[in-house]
Amino acid sequence: MLLETIQTNIYNIRGTKVMLDSDLASLYEVETKVLNQAVKRNIARFPSDFMFQLSKLELEKLRSQNVTTKFTMSRTTPFVFTQNGIAMLSSVLRSSISVQVNIQIMRTFTKMQEFALGYKDVVQKLQELEQTIRIDQQQINYNTDKIDDAFVLLKEILNDTTKTSNNKIGFKLNK
């Protein structure tokens, strides 16, 4: 159950998989304010690739994509933590719950990465197939254009022959 809860609380923001401070606080069984205070007391441990604050636009987008009540209005936008930031949280939150939850979160991130790597070959094959189809489509378009040109020429020839079909061809012999 914890694995599913963790997976549903991982979002892709700025091209990075992250978790919200409020979701982490809930998992660690502490208030969001307590979690953020612990982070601020140890801010040197959380560079921008470990943690960042959402912009108002990012928060609105997150709200619109996830129709739940968990994104309540607040005076400040939430902090989000990357996998490295979440690992660092275990060093600033020293409860036994935080250690166990961190282990589960790290396992979840690892499973998600393994899953993504497993489908890397499938994605590559799809890209190759798409390229082949694109090349085939270009060839079909080229051939269609040539066939159209041939029909235009045939029509012109037929039009020319119908204009002259009343004229006799050959010599008239006088007898």
Give the rounded distance of the alpha carbon of 150 from its chain centre.
45
- With beta carbons less than 8 A apart as the criterion, state whether 98 and 90 touch: yes
Topology of domain 2-118 in CATH is Mlu1-box Binding Protein; DNA-binding Domain (3.10.260)
What pLDDT, on the 0 to 100 scale, is given for residue 69? 45
The secondary element (H helix, E strand) that includes residue 22 is helix 21-28
Per-residue pLDDT of the chain (175 residues; tens, 9 = 90+): 567 778 888 899 999 999 999 999 988 888 999 999 999 999 999 999 999 999 999 988 888 877 554 655 567 889 999 988 988 887 788 777 777 777 788 888 778 777 777 777 777 777 777 787 777 777 777 777 777 777 777 777 777 765 555 556 566 666 6
What distance in Å separates the CA atoms of residue 87 and residue 105, rounded to the nearest whole number? 9
**Could you state, in order of their start, the residue ranges of all structural domains in the chain?**
2-118, 120-162
With contact defined as beta carbons under 8 Å apart, do 96 and 49 qualify?
Answer: no
Please report the pLDDT score of residue 137 as a whole number: 77
Task: Judge residue 101's burial from the number of C-beta atoms within 10 Å of its C-beta, 0-12 exposed, 13-18 middle, 19 or more buried.
Answer: buried
Residue tagged 């085939």 (tokens):
136
Angstrom distance (rounded) from CA 111 to CA 97:
21
Q: Cβ distance 54 to 80 under 8 Å?
A: yes
Alpha carbon 47 to chain centroid, angstroms: 25
Residues 6+ apart with CB under 8 A from 77: 53, 54, 55, 56, 58, 59
User: Which amino acid is located at 137 in the chain?
Assistant: Q
> Which residue, among 62, 60, 57, has the nearest Cα to 19 in the 3D structure?
62
Q: What gap in Å lies between CA 70 and CA 120, rounded to an integer?
A: 33
